[in-house]
Chains A and B, each alone.
Chain A
């Protein structure tokens, strides 16, 4: 890992990040909570999905149909996440 000019080491991109996720609607009802703390093995949206599945058995069928938003935008599986990220799980929507 290279050292940035300010001398601070970059945070590791995998292994130890603790993240908070927000849950909504049927997913919040199934889990019984609106927020969960997860420790994904990989600090990406894909890692969050894996950690959520491991933490909440049975969430898989709804999770695979859900999108993930990071910092207010829909995000793909490779999007990085960290302790300061606002992460929201977006199950299939039913507005209107």
Chain B
């Protein structure tokens, strides 16, 4: 299983967690992000994801390498699904292993924050009002301040 993957099919999160296991690790953490059926009063029927795949893959690789260096991880894997993701299904899985839990927990949170800031993947929400691409108003430009 590749350490970083974009996939059109369902994500096997348990397999990802198993793949990053290490005898150096005492803490193993799996995060899955799933399609939520409502956000406030807004109902979601499903999400469609698309990516600029060459850059999304290289950005995920970069974040993985940085997380391993920054938090001293023993293992790290990230999978993001593309295409249609039904309510309850997994759109993203992040697995990390580290010697101790604090590094693992901090690394997972950092990875998800950076993924949502930097990686060129977009979601389109399907609901009663139609199909709406999500481009957060408050987001900084992906690629960092030097691109302004």
* Chain A residues at the B interface, C-beta cutoff of 8 Å: 22, 24-26, 29, 62, 65-69, 72-77, 88, 90-96
Interchain CB contact under 8 A, B55 and A72: yes
Interchain CB contact under 8 A, B124 and A65: no
Docked Cα-Cα span, A73 to B142, in Å, equals 11
Q: Does B136 contact A (CB under 8 A)?
A: yes
Grouping DSSP codes into helix (H, G, I), strand (E, B) and loop, the B interface class, with mixed when no group exceeds half, is: mixed
Interchain CB contact under 8 A, A75 and B147: yes
Chain B nearest Cβ from A86, distance in angstroms: 8
Chain A nearest Cβ from B51, distance in angstroms: 7
Q: Does B64 contact A (CB under 8 A)?
A: no
* Chain B residues at the A interface, C-beta cutoff of 8 Å: 33, 49-52, 54-56, 58, 80, 91-92, 112, 115-124, 133-137, 139, 141-144, 146-147
A67 contact from B49, B92, B143, Cβ within 8 A: B143
Specify which of A22, A91, A96 lies most central, judged by the most chain B CB atoms within 10 Å of its CB: A96
Docked Cα-Cα span, A66 to B55, in Å, equals 15
27 contacts between A and B (CB under 8 A): A25-B50, A25-B135, A26-B133, A65-B135, A67-B141, A69-B52, A76-B147, A77-B147, A88-B52, A88-B55, A88-B120, A92-B135, A92-B139, A92-B141, A92-B142, A93-B122, A93-B139, A94-B116, A94-B123, A94-B133, A94-B134, A95-B80, A95-B120, A96-B33, A96-B80, A96-B91, A96-B92
**Chain B residue, CB-CB nearest to A65:** B141
